[in-house]
């Protein structure tokens, strides 16, 4: 089972302002409301790929109620600690010419709720994967990821960490199965300016030497790289798409990679699929739908001049057939 941890979830309220003039009343042409948080994004895309997961974390108030109801309605299993006071934060995203974001602070989390969360971690067993990702609320210990991995050490659990800066570096002591920073995060860690996968590869080796078994570094439009646990380097480009909203693209990469690795695909195939998932989400208003992921996968293999593995091709064809059968029943088209 794949478990995802979201310690600082949010409702992402996306507005499309017609103007954005400070000091004046601005109006929006449309709005959307999404359940946000890195772990929730990963569980959402895994659900789209028909890969089961359990979303864990901390939620509170009427916004927390909404978030958990939405997860239930989407068929995403969850196991959240509920706060007695405070509300899950709301993030405002103004999607105009330039994306502008105002992220909420979030509720204060008492120590007893942290203890309850750690107790719930006992459900994670040998062979399971636990994804620790996203920011840490100010009221939680800065080493909470390290605490969680320490509590579960020696149980045969695979850890995946996608976190910024020192959080990421501290996690390497636990030899996580996978880490996935982006090129700018790696640049800040090592005090360098790096853009392309080729420029990032030496630093992937450094992270590997520090303890990470598999290192994915996403580089936006430049592509992405994987240094796998066998020391083999992999680099893939990105498919050309129109950027809509990059929020959740990195989370989608993690989900796509785990979906394919856990199904037995090799690391190269998993990276290509992960890149397609990230790109598809970047070209979507929210987390990508399966139909768009399949189109991007096809385009990416074509761009790379490679034959698509039979398992991937069959999966795409089966998904297309299911979608067409559903359209025939409902009379709806995408």
Active site residues: 251
Select from 100, 79, 82 the least CA-distant residue to 91.
100
Please name the residue that has the structure tokens 């695909």. 265
**What is the Cα–Cα distance from 274 to 223, expressed in whole angstroms?**
11
CA atoms within a 13 Å half-sphere pointing along the CA-CB vector of 236: 31
Give the closest residue to 56 by CA, choosing from 77, 74, 29: 77
What's the rounded Cα separation, in Å, for the pair 79 and 121? 10
- Cβ proximity of 273 and 232 under 8 Å: no
Output DSSP code: residue 7.
Answer: S
Q: Report the C-alpha gap between 303 and 241 in whole angstroms.
A: 12
Q: How far is it, in rounded angstroms, from Cα 299 to Cα 305?
A: 10
Return the H-helix or E-strand segment holding 270.
Answer: helix 267-282
């Amino acid at each position: 089972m794949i478990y995802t941890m979201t310690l600082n979830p949010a409702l992402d309220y996306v507005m499309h302002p017609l103007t954005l003039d400070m000091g004046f009343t601005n109006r929006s042409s449309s709005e959307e409301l999404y359940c946000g948080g890195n772990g929730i994004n990963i569980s959402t895309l895994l659900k789209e790929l028909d890969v089961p997961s359990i979303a864990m974390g901390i939620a509170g108030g009427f916004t927390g109620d909404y978030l958990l109801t939405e997860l239930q309605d989407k068929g995403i299993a969850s196991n959240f600690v509920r706060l007695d006071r405070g509300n899950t934060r709301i993030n405002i995203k103004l999607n105009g010419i330039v994306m502008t974001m105002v992220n909420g602070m979030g509720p204060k989390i008492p120590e007893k709720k942290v203890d309850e969360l750690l107790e719930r971690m006992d459900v994670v067993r040998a062979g399971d994967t636990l994804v620790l990702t996203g920011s840490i609320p100010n009221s939680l210990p800065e080493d909470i990821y390290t605490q969680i991995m320490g509590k579960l050490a020696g149980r045969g659990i695979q850890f995946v960490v996608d976190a910024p800066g020192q959080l990421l570096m501290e996690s390497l002591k636990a030899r996580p199965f996978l880490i996935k920073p982006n090129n700018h995060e790696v640049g800040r860690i090592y005090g360098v300016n790096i853009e392309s996968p080729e420029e990032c590869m030496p630093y992937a080796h450094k992270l590997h030497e520090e303890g990470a078994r598999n290192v994915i570094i996403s580089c936006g439009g430049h592509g992405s790289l994987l240094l796998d646990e066998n020391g083999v380097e992999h680099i893939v480009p990105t498919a050309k798409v129109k950027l809509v909203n990059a929020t959740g693209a990195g989370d989608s990469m993690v989900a796509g990679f785990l979906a394919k690795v856990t199904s037995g695909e090799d690391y190269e195939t998993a990276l290509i699929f992960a890149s397609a998932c990230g790109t598809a989400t970047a070209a979507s208003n929210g987390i990508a739908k399966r139909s768009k992921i399949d189109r991007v996968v096809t385009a990416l293999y074509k761009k790379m001049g490679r034959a698509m593995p039979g398992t991937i091709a069959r999966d795409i064809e089966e998904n297309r057939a299911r979608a067409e059968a559903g359209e025939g029943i409902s009379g709806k088209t995408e």
